[in-house]
Amino acid sequence: MGESSLPNAPLSERVRANLSFNNPLWKIFSRVGNNHYHPANNPDGILNLGVAENKMMRGELVKHLNPKLELTESQLGYGPDPSGSTKVREQIADMVNSHFAPVDPVLPAHITVHNGTTSAIDIFSYVTCDPGEGIMIAAPYYGGFDFDTFMRAKAPIVEVSMAPADMLHPERHVELMEAAYQKAVAEGILVRSIIFTNPHNPLGQCHPRALIENLLRFANRYNLHILFDEIYALSVFNTELNELGIDSGTEFHSVLSYPHLADLIDPSLVHVIHGMSKDFCFNGLRIGYLISPWNSTFINAVKTVSAFTWFSGTTEHVLTQFFSDPAWVAEFIQGNRRSLAQAYLHMARFLKRQNIPFIPSRAGHFIWVNLRRFCCSEGQSDGPGNEDEKEEEVTMAAADALFDRILDAGVYIAPGIVFHTHEPGWFRISFAAPQSEVDVGLTRLLKALAISG
């Protein structure tokens, strides 16, 4: 009936800004839709190597949890605390103390639990920024930040565009942040915070300690909150690669483990997020947590709005069962790292065979791949071109057309535009799926790129 356009049914300015928010992910998700690949039930469906979901440990998770999941009557009520019961916050604190090597033990009082890390980032944005105040993020970055910072908090992202080498460079990274900060200030934007992803999505790399120290000094200079998104902290597989004789790259160190943090920054500006989706392969549980050991006012502020991210008693039950056996959790983490290393190597060998350039991954579920030589402008024939010849002519539109071709071939890989990269031709491919599935996806990819396998 078209009620949505009735002038007599006005919507808030806030939400009207959302409706006109143009994000490539919406178009992509509408194309991928519900037509998901399944080897038996829907073999012609779209095979998803675009979303960062680790499917490799699911069997193990289900086997471990199923026998423990009997509901009791008390789990049917509201539960004691919208930001997580003491028990679940104790369990999360124990897990963080065992696996993030914090200098001082993290306590349950430092933690708030939410229905997903997405919600935790939304709350961080809401709590640190008034509408119109900026959050700095180095690009390429995880595209979900666009929604998390803007839809409710209305905090614009101050995007700091960087080439991959600069993203990981201790001095260049912070010089670019400084320049972007000064530009934003000159444009009248009051910058309040930074979101920093380590290990990085989409690069799949850990940031060097020197870079993080410089960034902490930068944040301190301008009194900026800094949220460390450490959602891939336990999916680092550099040691496993090293054991196979492959250079291990930069190691991961949680900011919680920095011994002299107070020499670099007022610690009350430093916060961390982690959750169940990535390192524990449990995206569907919708659990993420904020950890803020040095700022009880921040924690209290978060709690004023945490009723809106309250998760069910049933979810809490699953969560407490997951964490009830720390030895099993430790084995799970190790097993996951080993399978990520194997899955990564499988993907990297494929890319090398096809002579497709990529940034070597050391963490996460994905690899950042350069397909620019397959991008061709409209009217040109499909197929690989000479990289030098194509240097001049590759446009975002050509990269878009390549994305469509790949999707038409039945596989979804995430285009660079979603991560705000300005260099056309980058894509993020997830490898954390059963090998048979990945191989179907790669065969379809080769078809779209017009290379014979």
CB 137 to ligand PLP: min, Å: 10
CB 315 to ligand PLP: min, Å: 13
Say how many C-beta atoms besides its own lie within 10 A of residue 131's C-beta: 14
Give CA–CA dist 364/171, Å, rounded.
Answer: 24
Query: What are residue 450's DSSP bridge partners?
Result: none
Question: By the 8 A CB rule, do 412 and 50 touch?
Answer: yes
CB 283 to ligand PLP: min, Å: 5
Binders of ligand PLP among 231-260, rule CB under 6 A? 231
Could you say whether residue 370 binds ligand PLP (CB under 6 A)?
no
Residue whose token pair is 């960087």: 162
CB 382 to ligand PLP: min, Å: 31
CB 116 to ligand PLP: min, Å: 4
Binders of ligand PLP among 24-53, rule CB under 6 A? 52
Q: What letter would DSSP give residue 202?
A: T
Among 100, 124, 126, 142, the residue binding ligand PLP under the rule CB under 6 A is: 142
Give CA–CA dist 53/437, Å, rounded.
Answer: 13
Could you say whether residue 144 binds ligand PLP (CB under 6 A)?
yes
Give CA–CA dist 245/79, Å, rounded.
Answer: 49
Q: How many residues does the structure list for the chain? A: 453
Binders of ligand PLP among 77-116, rule CB under 6 A? 116
Tokens representing residue 176 in the block: 């670019």
Give the closest residue to 142 by CA, choosing from 353, 358, 357, 430: 430
Residue number of the CB atom closest to ligand PLP: 117
Could you say whether residue 54 binds ligand PLP (CB under 6 A)?
no
Residue among 144 and 360 whose Cβ is closer to ligand PLP: 144
CB 186 to ligand PLP: min, Å: 29
Tokens representing residue 268 in the block: 């009350």
CB 122 to ligand PLP: min, Å: 10
Question: By the 8 A CB rule, do 217 and 261 touch?
Answer: no
Query: What are residue 58's DSSP bridge partners?
Result: none
Q: Using CB under 6 A, count the residues that bind ligand PLP.
A: 14
Query: With 0-12 CB in 10 A as exposed, 13-18 as middle and 19+ as buried, what is 207?
Result: buried
Binders of ligand PLP among 272-311, rule CB under 6 A? 275, 277, 283, 288
Residue among 48 and 277 whose Cβ is closer to ligand PLP: 277
Binders of ligand PLP among 173-232, rule CB under 6 A? 197, 201, 229, 231
- Phi and psi at 55, nearest 5°, equal -95, 0
Could you say whether residue 268 binds ligand PLP (CB under 6 A)?
no
CB 149 to ligand PLP: min, Å: 12
Say how many C-beta atoms besides its own lie within 10 A of residue 64's C-beta: 17
Among 54, 83, 117, 250, the residue binding ligand PLP under the rule CB under 6 A is: 117
- Phi and psi at 313, nearest 5°, equal -60, -35
Residues engaged in binding ligand PLP (CB under 6 A)? 52, 116-118, 142, 144, 197, 201, 229, 231, 275, 277, 283, 288
